[in-house]
Structure 1
Amino acid sequence: MSNKVGIFNILTNVSFGNGAISKLTEIIKENEFQNVLVITDKGISSAGIIDIVVPSIREANITIYDGTLPNPTISNCEEAYKLYKENNVDVVVGIGGGSPLDVAKAVALLATNGGSIDDYEGIGKFKNDLLPLIAIPTTAGTASEVTNFTVITDEERQYKLTVGGSRLAARWAIIDPELTYGLPPHITAATGLDALVHAIESYTSKEANDITKTLAREATRKIGKYLRQAVYDGDNIIAREEMMMGSLLAGLAFNNTRLGNCHAMSHPISAVYAVPHGVANAILIPYVMKFNSYAAPDLYRHIGEDLGGNIEGLTVTEQAINAANIVRQLSIDIGLPTDLQSFNVTEEKIDLLTRDAMLSGNILVNPRKTSAEDIKNLYRKAIRGEY
């Protein structure tokens, strides 16, 4: 145990387990909500998940917004907010991956604070508590259901803005692994690797403490053991449950520590080139881990151990670098790309990408002090695939 004082916050009431979706009816009835705004995306609608969820609250008046994009935009927030105003909504229900949940947070914020979501860029820039918000994830990935942040793309600036603050947490999170059973392999892979990156960057964050480290290491063990199974055998109930728990634990950890260089770099890639967030993280994380290994070899050595790596005969630094190799191999095993060229990312916009990455607060808690030139070099390696 360290001498550092650990601070841990969670403001969300979490229901976890197969069949947990039944809690939605309970919450709606107990709080006498009458007008429900469901925020989701067309993928969730076409997958039939809405058909599972909505009947459980059929006694309420339900409005559905399913226009959320994979990288949600200010326009998405404005469209959904308009439906809120038109329908006298008293509770927002976000259903889906991180994108619908982020839009749901934004709308719940705007409902009580007004304005546009970009008015609140930064941490703690709004005054009033959210409209009641229920978050229901359908992927084992972002953990947005238990975090105090929302990330929205400003298309005009080609920039992902972050809004955060303790008041931004959902009041309830309903985490039901059964909702992930029909998830396609490529989405299972990308979101699962995103959850692993959350665990890795939380564990190695300068803000980590004994509580968050314990959560992050257990998340790493679960994801390392079960992600391949969830991708290649989507009906594996145990794998789906363990991945959902791994994602939750990682989310609880990084909500208290922030993340690191990988997330700082992935947001600009998604904003400028529309690379899916989880895929961008999967490509970047091995490069970032190798870069950081020299500054925090013991931390990365632990990650390698938790992922089942063979460390016999290796020095501490070699063990740390081996952890990056293990994560890269995991990405390859589940069919994710290993370089940014796969998404037509070029070096032409490295200055823009670097500028936006350096604006992220995640750079400040990264375990190795990082300059703009360092970020440029990491981008170059990831674009060229020079691992």
Structure 2
Amino acid sequence: MLTPRKVYWPAINLVGPGSVKFVGEEVKKLNLKKALLVTDKVLNQNGVVKQITDVLDQDGILYTIFDEVKPNPTTKNVHDGLAVFQKEACDFIISVGGGSPQDTGSAIGILVTNGGNIADYEGIGKSKNKSVPIVAISTTAGTAAEVTINYVITDESRKIKMIMVDPNCLATIAVNDPELMLKKPKGLTAATGLDALTHAIEGYTANGAFELSDAIAYKSIELIARYIEKAVENGSDLEARSGMGWGSFIAGLCYSNAGLGIVHSMAHQLGGEYDLPHGVANAMLLPYVMEFNMDACPQKFADVARALGVDTSSAATVEEAAQMAVDEVRRISKAVGIPPLRESAFRVEDVEKLAENALKDACTGANPKAVTKEDIIAIYMKAYNDAPVPVGAN
């Protein structure tokens, strides 16, 4: 409690239905001239980007659209975007989408002010200069990349996800408008929602957790548990979308400051090796990692159970209450249609390489329990075989 903390989040946060309409006036206050609008082709073609460019046009904000971002953005995406930024004489970035456009926008912003290759910035705090201003507009309730100091880029040559933890990439303006999230497909809603739940649970139990992160993580878990199944079932339910939007937003504030854990370390390898969607990878692994970590902080996992809405009064011990959290996460994952790991592209013969890379991942250090390569292999295999990890496993 007496330890000083640095707490990071965007200077301006626009949250709630219709909040995107305030983007233009906030940009004008910053005297910015022309944006590189970073997004993907799906969002550009389905009308979501137009909802934003209509606002920009109304307020006289100039922009050029770069919509080449892949679901797991690559170094090529980043450098191609940087070339467009420079050619079009842009002076700020508007990133529109889920984690992929947000991460790409962050990476481009860092390269504009720092130069070099994006691989130069893998790790923690590698840049010297603050990014150009970024307006980060989220269209999914999942990654919360619009509010974090993290971004992830795939190195195509090594087939790994590079994790960058860097306060210099933090957005100037973050926008979380649930009206932009309406009518998203069930599968995307489920994957991004479980990604947000993973952020909240890992942030709550991480080594770096503290008073503020605990408070907001707990509320995030409550909101996601209350609304995720409703949002998946009815993509037009604005109340459910708003609840998920808030849950994702505050989970991002939590983990950006407290850290994550090996769910993310392991999921990053599945994304890098097999191009598996990040939220799905997290969801496949989350309950198994929770069981592995449970004996390191059983009271925290018992708290998670209660935040999930589970009645733990029948639990005879704190460990039993903690197990209820794992069981409820499994139930939610199944209810929203997350498949098991064995139904993905995962190959058993790759497990040693995946585990080695996961051990080196920037998220591993915040895990509440020390972990070895053998531990990670065991968790991958238990997830693959759909078998529970015994409490206290090493």
Q: Which residue of 2 aligns with 1:242?
A: 243
User: Comparing 112-121 with 27-36, which one deviates more in the overlay?
Assistant: 27-36
C-alpha deviations, 1:292-329, integer Å up to 9, x for none?
A: 11221111001011111132332211111121110011
Cα RMSD of the aligned pairs, angstroms, is: 1.3
Counterpart AA for 1:385: D
Corresponding residue for residue 30 of structure 2: 31
Instruction: Note the alpha carbon deviations across 1:318-363, whole angstroms, 9 max, x for none.
Output: 11112111001100001111x2111131210111101110002322
2:334 to 332, 335, 352: 332
Where in structure 2 are the equivalents of 1:202-221 lying within 5 Å? 202-221=203-222
Letter in 2 for 1:25: G
Residue 317 (structure 1) aligned with residue 316 (structure 2): no
Give me the whole-angstrom Cα distance separating, in 2, the residues matched to 1:78 and 1:186: 30
What is the CA–CA distance in structure 2 between the aligned matches of 1:361 and 1:259, rounded to whole Å?
A: 9
TM superposition score normalised by structure 2: 0.95
The offset of 1:164, in angstroms, is 2.1
Give the SS at the match of 2:154. Answer: strand
Structure 1 residue 3, shift from structure 2 partner: 5.9
Q: Say which is worse superposed, 269-278 or 34-43, in terms of deviation.
A: 34-43
Give, in whole Å, the separation in 1 of the partners of 2:314 and 2:199: 29
Map of 1:107 onto structure 2: 108
TM-score scaled to structure 1, two decimals?
Answer: 0.97
CA displacement, residues 26-83 of structure 1 (integer Å, 9 cap, x when unaligned): 1233333332210001121122011111122223432111111111100100111110
Q: Secondary structure at the match of 1:250?
A: helix
Of residues 120-129 and 296-305 in structure 1, the stretch that sits farther from structure 2 once superposed is 120-129
Alignment check: 8 A CA contact 1:96 1:136 kept: yes
Q: Give 3-state SS (helix, strand or coil) of 1:370's partner.
A: coil
Distance 2:15 2:307 in 1: 24
Deviation at 1:12, TM superposition (A): 3.2
Q: CA deviation at 1:365?
A: 1.7
For each residue in 1:76-103, what CA deviation from the matched residue of structure 2 results, as whole angstroms up to 9, or x when unmatched? 0011111011100011100000100000
Q: Which residue does 2:91 correspond to in 1?
A: 90
Name the structure 2 match of 1:280: 281
CA distance 1:11–1:234, change in 2 (3 Å): closer
Q: Distance in 1 between matches of 2:43 and 2:125?
A: 31
- Residue in 1 that maps onto 2:196: 195
> What amino acid sits opposite 1:253 in the alignment?
C
Aligned CA distance change for structure 1 residues 4 and 300 (closer, same or farther; 3 Å): farther
**Alignment correspondent of 1:263:** 264
1:23/1:174 contact within 8 Å kept: no
| Alignment partners' CA distance in 2, 1:382 and 1:250 | 25
Q: How do residues 1-387 of structure 1 correspond to structure 2 at under 5 angstroms? A: 7-58=6-57, 59-314=60-315, 315-337=317-339, 339-387=340-388
- Give 1:252 deviation, angstroms: 0.5
**Identical aligned residues as a percent:** 37
**1:294 aligned counterpart, secondary structure:** helix
Q: C-alpha separation between the residues in 1 aligned to 2:329 and 2:275?
A: 23
The Cα offsets for residues 265-293 of structure 1, whole Å up to 9 and x where unpaired, read as: 00001100111000000000000011111
**What amino acid maps onto 2:207 in structure 1?**
K
**Displacement after TM superposition at 1:206 (Å):** 1.1
Structure 2 distance, partners of 1:293, 1:186, is 29
Q: Secondary structure at the match of 1:129?
A: coil
Q: Which amino acid aligns with 2:116?
A: G
Mapped partners of 1:124, 1:258: distance in 2:
14
Whole-angstrom distance in 1 between the partners of 2:364 and 2:26:
39
Whole-angstrom distance in 2 between the partners of 1:196 and 1:183: 18
Partners of 2:255 and 2:103 lie apart in 1 by: 16
The structural deviation recorded for 1:205 is 0.6
Could you tell me how far apart the structure 1 residues matched to 2:62 and 2:236 are?
34
CA contact under 8 A between 1:8 and 1:211: conserved in structure 2? no
Going from structure 1 to structure 2, the CA distance change for 1:6 and 1:111 (only over 3 Å counts) comes to closer
- Separation (CA, whole Å) in 1 of partners of 2:22 and 2:6: 29
In structure 2, relative to structure 1, the CA distance for the partners of 1:6 and 1:36 (3 Å cut) is closer
SS of the counterpart of 2:245? helix
1:28–1:57 Cα contact (<8 Å) kept: no
Once the two structures are TM-superposed, the CA of residue 6 in structure 1 deviates from its matched residue by 5.1
Given the superposition, is the C-alpha separation of residues 155 and 29 from structure 1 closer, same or farther in structure 2, using an over 3 Å criterion?
same
* Cα distance between partner residues in 2 of 1:11 and 1:98: 16
Return the letter of the residue paired with 1:37. Answer: L
Unaligned runs of 5+ in 2: 389-394
Q: What secondary structure sits across from 1:136 in the alignment?
A: strand
